[in-house]
A and B are shown apart, each in its own frame.
Chain A
């Protein structure tokens, strides 16, 4: 009862829209622009090159972004509750996500999990982005596919020259949970205000799966569904998959 009264009190003394107070909340947008090494990602038709100079095409590119955390310069951190999103290059609407009920303020850092946290991999039946119907859940070995990349390359030795990179797994030594984190320019922080809906624009480089720590040749690695080869791919994309390009405040 005491808490309820407090909340009522706070909302009743809301001030002008632009003023930042602890109790106001608003919305921002994260937009993921899928690319391959600087070129727009176009499924099925465009041909790209990996760091080894091998051609490839992409048929499926999907990934989870979860547990989004925002930090202010003073060190306060806000974890957006239940933030689980599946971005699918074949569904343009999935590339723009809206985060609601975020405390207003100036944020200078954003951090999120590439994939799904440990607990949810073993939790009961989920819905929404984590619904097993989305084709991102391994039924025989519980856990989510964090990043799913399927395509073809003339260099692939697999049947029909396919490329199958299903990256996931949370158990050591093959844990593929990776965290993306970036500082935001203090001169232009993420300004969340009640009267504004800022837009963070991220470039997502699908080519990052195959370069970075280890340059991958499709002649040697063209199939992984968890395990040590998935770790190689996760270690590659941990740094190169996402880049914060700009913010429209």
Chain B
């Protein structure tokens, strides 16, 4: 990501200008940095805060603890988020990807703005277990934060708004748009699907994309996919108070799905095979079951292999391995 090679220590590498670009195969974003001008200093501060474990109650958990880059910014091998004092949260950590296009956040869509999204994790006793006053006070008294806030915002003042806006400068830039799928769609460098991937893509469009809509691989709606007759987690109805939303959760994105295991709001499935088997034979007649799933989605063994091959084309290694987003 740097313009010059990094073997000479004395040479300061030319800094990459942090930009937010809308990929040509994506629509216009919801969040456009209008009231939060994206700068390198703002991004750097946001990233440092994102990886700062001292923000949590017992100083053990940062945003990055549950949103791991190598797992597409969700938490590998954790059914539910794992917070301070070894507390187990309620739901599976959602991946932080293409958030600038999202109008609502979390499995139940309760949070309506990316800037206020971290508040949930900051204050939840099972996540970071702290509050904004404590965080602001800590940052005011911890070098080099006053300097970093000055660089990012022009004055050393630290307040909750600046904390949240700088974190957003990091999280909203987390755009995954360079998977093989994207390159095929953009006809980049003659990239094409293999015959298995193409067969999987055609099956996907026939059987899955009415909910997992391209290019985000979610239509951002809330649905019940028949995991249980009666959901143990009320889901969307906790937000809307409407009975017909009971047991519904936001359709999750499938981008980087190869790395975001385990799956579902409660992380009950560890493999894509289990997920596909659920749709094939495991759908339960929950009261608010999505009508499209009434009869399940019949998938032969061969079809499952094709769909899995396609799903792996959603892996974006340039995103997963981009050092701009890494802790160090």
Q: Do A125 and B241 touch (CB < 8 A)?
A: no
Interface check B253, CB cutoff 8 A = no
Total inter-chain residue pairs, C-beta < 8 Å: 67
List residues of chain A with CB within 8 A of the CB of B113: 122-125, 142
Establish whether residues A228 and B161, one from each chain, have CB atoms under 8 Å apart when the complex forms: no
Q: Which residue of A lies closest to B122 (CB)?
A: A139
Tell me, rounded to whole Å, the shortest Cβ–Cβ distance linking A99 to chain B. Answer: 23
Q: Is the CB of B112 within 8 A of A125?
A: no
**Contact of B119 with A141 in the complex, beta carbons under 8 Å:** no
B138 CB to nearest A CB, Å = 14
For the complex, is B165 an interface residue (Cβ under 8 Å from A)?
yes
> Could you tell me the distance in whole angstroms from the C-beta of A138 to the nearest C-beta in chain B?
8
Q: Are B136 and A133 in contact (CB under 8 A)?
A: yes
Bound-complex Cα distance A127 to B168 (A): 16
How near does chain B come to A74, taking the closest CB pair, in angstroms?
36
How many A residues touch B, CB cutoff 8 Å?
21
**Quick one: closest B residue to A124, CB to CB?**
B115
Please judge, given known A-B contacts A125-B116, A133-B132, A133-B133, whether A142 and B110 are in contact too, CB under 8 Å.
Answer: yes
- Residues B119 and A137 in contact, CB atoms below 8 Å apart: yes
Interface flag for A98 (CB, 8 Å): no
**Count of residues in B whose CB is under 8 Å from the partner chain:** 29
**A173 nearest CB across to chain B (Å):** 9
B159 near A137 with CB under 8 A, answer no
Chain B residues whose C-beta falls within 8 Å of the C-beta of A171 in the assembled complex? 240
CB contact between A125 and one of B133, B164, B238 (< 8 Å): that residue: B164
A142-B112 contact, Cβ under 8 Å, with A125-B165, A127-B159: yes
Report if A127-B161 is in contact (Cβ < 8 Å); known contacts: A133-B133, A133-B136, A140-B111: yes
Interface residues of A in 113-172 (CB under 8 A from B): 121-127, 131-133, 137, 139-143, 171
Given contacts A139-B123, A142-B111, A228-B241, contact A124 B116 (CB under 8 A): yes
Cβ–Cβ contact A127 & B36, under 8 A: no
| Interface check B244, CB cutoff 8 A | no
| Residues of chain B lying within 8 A (CB to CB) of residue A122 | 112-113
B 230-256 to A, binary, CB cutoff 8 A, 1 in contact else 0? 000000001111000000000000000
Cβ-defined contact, A131 with B120, below 8 A = no
Q: Please, how many angstroms separate the alpha-carbon atoms of A123 and B161 in the complex?
A: 12
A186 to nearest B CB, angstroms? 42
CA distance A121 to B104 in the complex (A): 13
Q: Is A174 an interface residue (CB 8 A)?
A: yes
The answer to whether B161 touches A126 (Cβ under 8 A) is yes
Shortest distance from the beta carbon of B246 to any chain A beta carbon, whole Å? 14
Interface residues of A in 184-228 (CB under 8 A from B): 226-228
Is B14 an interface position by the 8 A CB rule? no
Q: How far is the CA of A121 from the CA of B35 in the complex (A)?
A: 16
**Within the assembled complex, what's the spacing in Å between the Cα atoms of A174 and B239?**
11
Nearest Cβ on chain B to A86's Cβ, whole angstroms: 14
Interface centre among A123, A140, A227 (most CB of B within 10 A): A140
Are the CB atoms of B159 and A124 closer together than 8 Å? no
Give complex CA distance A131, B133 in Å: 11
Taking the closest CB of chain B, its distance from the CB of A83, in whole angstroms, is: 18
Residue of A nearest to B34 (CB): A124
Contacts of B114 in A (CB 8 A): 124
Partner of B119 from A121, A127, A132, A227 at Cβ < 8 Å: A132
Q: Flag B128-145 by CB within 8 Å of A: 1 or 0 each.
A: 000111001000000000
Docked CA distance A137–B131 (Å): 12
Are A127 and B241 in touch, CB under 8 angstroms? no
CB distance from A175 to the nearest CB of B (A): 12
Q: Which residues of A contact B115 (CB under 8 A)?
A: 124-125
B165–A124 touching, CB < 8 Å: yes
Taken residue by residue from 53 to 64, chain A's Cβ proximity to chain B (1 for < 8 Å, 0 otherwise) reads as 000000000000
Query: Chain A contacts of B106 at CB under 8 A?
Result: 140
Q: Which of A121, A132, A142 has the most chain B CB atoms closer than 10 A to its own CB?
A: A142
| Chain A neighbourhood of B116, CB < 8 A | 124-125, 132, 137, 139, 142
Q: With A123-B113, A140-B111, A142-B116 known to touch, is A131 a contact of B239 (CB < 8 Å)?
A: no
Q: Tell me if B195 counts as interface (CB < 8 A to partner A).
A: no
Docked CA distance A126–B35 (Å) = 11
User: Within the assembled complex, what's the spacing in Å between the Cα atoms of A133 and B204?
Assistant: 45
Look across to chain B and name the residue whose beta carbon is closest to the beta carbon of A140: B110
Of B35, B136, B239, which is within 8 A of A124 by CB? B35
B323 beta carbon closer than 8 Å to chain A: no
User: Smallest distance from the beta carbon of B219 to chain A beta carbons, Å?
Assistant: 20
Q: Check A131–B110 contact: CB distance below 8 A.
A: no
Q: Which residues in B have their C-beta under 8 angstroms from that of A131?
A: 132, 159-161
B165: chain A residues at CB < 8 Å are 124-125
- Give Cα A123 to B35, complex, Å: 10
**B286 shortest CB reach to chain A, Å:** 23
Smallest CB–CB gap between A226 and chain B, Å? 8
Neighbour of A133 across the interface among B110, B112, B160, B238, CB < 8 A: B160
Apart from A133-B136, A139-B116, list 6 A-B contacts with CB within 8 A. Answer: A124-B168, A127-B159, A131-B159, A133-B132, A140-B111, A227-B241
13 contacts between A and B (CB under 8 A): A124-B35, A125-B161, A125-B163, A125-B168, A127-B160, A127-B161, A132-B132, A133-B132, A139-B111, A139-B120, A139-B123, A142-B113, A171-B240
Residues of A within 8 A of B (CB): 121-127, 131-133, 137, 139-143, 171, 174, 226-228
